[in-house]
Amino acid sequence: MHPEKSSTLTLICPTCENPLQLSSSGLRYGCRQGHQYSSRELDQALREQVYRTLSTTMRQVQEQERLLRLLTKHGLLPQSEEQLPLPPFIHRVLALLTNPRPND
């Protein structure tokens, strides 16, 4: 594509993860695989992708917590490993997932 017709953005296609380009009209985003999005469609696709990713992360953290509790209960976890710290940001992620803000 010619630079005067489109510009490469720092946005990534939510379908194939290729860079998105803004059309010359400024109304559509597309990737080299041919996925096309309006601004509204892209916003919705990115929101859904973030929600799925954070939901998976939350489930994995909860599963890890259950496993650690089970191992501790049965004495299979050394004392030094019982209280493995969660990354500092995880509490914010969990709060956002349990109390999501309404769409802006």
3-class secondary structure for the chain? CCCCCCEEEEEECCCCCCEEEECCCCCEEECCCCCEEEHHHHHHHHHHHHHHHHHHHHHHHHHHHHHHHHHHHCCCCCHHHCCCCCCCCHHHHHHHHHCCCCCC
- Taking only the tens place, the pLDDT of each residue in 43-92 is 999 999 989 998 898 888 888 888 888 888 888 876 555 455 666 777 77
The better pLDDT of the pair 99, 5 is held by 99
Residue 9 has pLDDT above 60, yes or no: no
> pTM for the whole thing?
0.61
